[in-house]
Amino acid sequence: MLVALFDNLEIVEPTLLVVISLPLLVAAGLAFDDTRRAASLLAPWMALPAVLLSVVVSPGHSEMLDWLVLGTLLSYDEIGRLFLFFTGWIWLLAGLFANYSLDEKERNAFWAFYLLALSGNLGVALARDLPGFLFFFSLMGFASYGLVLHRRDKAAIRAARVYIVLLVVGEGLLYAAAVLAAINADSFEAAAIADAVARSPQSELIVVLFFAGFATKAGIFPLHISLPPAYDAAPASAGAVLSGAMSKAGVLGWMLFLPVGLDVSPVMGPDTVSDTMSSAISNAGLLFLLAGLFSVYYGVVVGLAQRTPKALLAYSSISQIGYMALLIGVGLQSGQMWEAALVATAVYALHHGLNKGALFLSVRICEDGVSGRWPRRLLLGGLLLPSLALAGAPLTTGAVAKNALKKSLDVDMLTVGAWFETLIVVGSVGTALLLARFIFLVWPAPPEERARVTDTPHQNPPRGLWIPWGLSLVSIIVVPWVFPWDEMQTLTADVLSWSKIWGEVWPLLVATLLVIVTVRAFRRYMWGQVVRIPPGDLLLPLGWLTLFLLHSTGRVLDWVQREADLIQERTIHFVTRPTGLASKSREFEAWLTSFHVGITLVVVLAAALIALAAVWP
């Protein structure tokens, strides 16, 4: 039946559309009593078709859907395959995890928003034109609002409000960028939009708008403020997809619609843009380089001051997304380096998605605590593996991603100095410190102590949670070696050399030493009781500034009102005086309106008009 439907729509390759539309069909089934139970059972598995497609089918399919939005181009290329794989995999694990971690009464509401956001996220991975991409991006963003609001407690309501405000602001910025970019574009396809941005006289403005619009979802400073409260308030399964999958949609938007890979060198050639445009694109690349580098360190510093594990993971994501913004800046500044930077960006997105999804799922397992020596050791190993991978430990996905990052950087071709590469390497130490802090926060107390504090008998996490969590850990180890992408295999084999292993070990040794010193200092001087930054960091000073402005505006309005009342009072007093101007005005008005004066004026006016008509040539 579905095949016949697609044949009627004249779609040659219906697989891509099926992957996107199946979650929507199941979400529609939740609205009816007869199909709600079946839809609820199918919901956790709706990302599986995307995973199977990305593993089994070779890239090379594309389809133009003229009837969808303004005409939507779906393309299954190498980058789309990679993004589709880790996006679908994280959503699949999160769905299976949510099926056992949420109460029965909460699941249907969760599944509705889950499926809508899933469809949007898969659409973003495959869309290769501007209207289609923004449509799926908006669907994903607005549906994820329900995931943030799911618990409906005070923290969730506050986080959801901030999230939806930044989401609307981001959508407005993207709409403005889309309009400016599409004015001179030959089509809405991503390549045509990127070329139009490069050749537009407003290229700097368009790049800044795209940067800010996608940064609200990716989490680049200072547009990150909605993400830490949202990740902290959402359930662990929702946090896994928000951080592991949806944040990469903004990165993919930068990759598709910005003029990355163009030659902006002073020596012009047939495929280059003008000198003015080259300067504009280079300046835009510098924006990405500096904003990305600042986010790398900002996420670490503020993350270390967090008191909850999910908020800390949010700042870790801000730091890691900073590396991907760096790579976009490399592509904007040097077309020769973009081929390597493109591979590095995709590998980094895969690496961060897999590991961050595993860590968010770990938070829920650790909440209940685990009894038994071997289960606790297994849990500790499960926490260490993705933490070490994010820190760039040898033979992990982090080592592969850092190797790709270093290969794509040639500071001699950028507008930054050699210090830039040094700061990137030092960032690995900060990541290791941040993840050490995470393990300290999330590690559960012994069951006996927890039972004594809470006065409730200890219960291990449901067994169904261990399966998706274990699969997430297995994928961290296996995927870099078996994923069918030649560039990935080359980078993975390259990290086996001893020189690369030592380059990945010494930042961990430095971080270990710093952890020991820091722990001793915190215990002695009680810094841990003093240093505290709430999730959303800038929200607090922004709130104070808003209150100050409102208070100041209120005082100004009160002063204006008092002055207006005084002026009105003085005017009334002046007008109502017997000898004032008002009495003279009333006398003059009475004289003008008297009968004989009116007749005289009319006769004079008529005579003047007749005389004028007589002498007019």
516 three-class SS: helix
Largest CA distance in the chain: 118
Q: Can you tell me the distance from the alpha carbon of 154 to that of 579, in angstroms, rounded to the nearest whole number? A: 66
Q: Two tokens at 578? A: 């017997």
pLDDT at 91 (0 to 100): 93
User: Exposed, middle or buried: residue 105 (CB in 10 Å: 0-12, 13-18, 19+)?
Assistant: exposed
Sequence-distant contacts of 447-453: CB under 8 A, at least 24 apart: 447/369, 447/370, 447/371, 450/369
Output the six-digit token pair for 273.
Answer: 């843009």
Closest CA to 314 of 210, 449, 209, 441: 441
Alpha-carbon span 286 to 177, nearest angstrom:
19
State the Cα–Cα distance between residues 195 and 210, nearest whole angstrom.
Answer: 14
Placement of tokens 């800038």 in the chain:
538
Quote the DSSP letter at residue 246. Answer: I
What phi-psi label fits residue 69: left (phi over 0), alpha (psi between -120 and 50 degrees) or beta? Answer: left
User: Which residues of the chain have a pLDDT value below 50?
Assistant: 1-13, 264-273, 525-528
Strand partners, 74: 63, 127
Residue type, 615: V
- In the numeric block, the tokens 């086996």 are attached to 496
Q: What is the pLDDT of residue 413?
A: 55
CA separation (Å) from 193 to 188, 337, 564? 6, 21, 54
Asked if 218 contacts 321 with a C-beta cutoff of 8 angstroms, the reply is yes
Predicted pLDDT at 266: 41
Distances (CA, A) of 483 to 126, 148, 409, 467: 18, 32, 24, 21
Q: Are 391 and 425 in contact (CB under 8 A)?
A: no
Task: Report residue 63: phi and psi, to 5°.
Answer: -150, 135
Answer for the pair 148, 156: CB distance below 8 angstroms, yes or no: yes
**Residue 246 near residue 121 (C-beta atoms within 8 A):** yes
User: Side chain identity at 383, as an amino acid letter?
Assistant: L
Q: Quick one: pLDDT at residue 462?
A: 73
Q: In this structure, are residues 256 and 101 in contact, taking their beta carbons and an 8 Å threshold?
A: no
Q: What are phi and psi of 52, to 5 degrees?
A: -65, -40
Which pLDDT value is given to residue 545?
65
Instruction: Report the predicted TM-score, pTM, of the whole model to 2 decimal places.
Output: 0.80
Separation of alpha carbons 164 and 137, rounded Å: 14
Q: Within 13 Å of residue 1, how many CA atoms lie on the same side as its CB?
A: 0
SS3 224: coil
Q: Collapsing DSSP states into helix, strand and coil, what is residue 486?
A: helix
Identify the DSSP state of 244: I
Nearest partner of 83 among 265, 324, 293, 374, judged by Cα:
324
The 10 Å Cβ neighbour count of residue 271 is 8
pLDDT value of position 117: 92
> Angle at the Cα of 294 (from 289 to 297), degrees rounded to 5?
130
Tokens 């990405």 correspond to 288
Nearest-CA neighbor of 217 among 298, 357, 321, 112?
A: 321
d(C-alpha 325, C-alpha 424), whole Å: 12
Phi, psi angle pair for 248, to nearest 5°: -75, -15
| Both structure tokens of 202 | 């407003």
**Residue 337 structure tokens:** 């380096």
Strand-pair partners of 564 = none
The DSSP result for 559-609, as a single string, is HHHHHHHHHHHHHHHHHT-TTSHHHHHHHHHHHHTSHHHHHHHHHHHHHHH
Which H or E run includes 76? strand 72-76
What's at 381, amino acid-wise? G
| Interacting residues of 33 by C-beta distance below 8 A, sequence separation 6+ | none
Reported as half-sphere exposure (CB side, CA atoms, 13 A), residue 605 has a value of 6
Condensed to tens digits (0 to 9), the pLDDT of residues 388-421 reads: 888 777 777 877 888 777 777 765 555 555 566 6
CA-to-CA separations, 40 to 26, 33, 88, 140, 260, in angstroms, rounded = 8, 11, 18, 20, 42
Adjacent-strand bridge partners of 75: 62
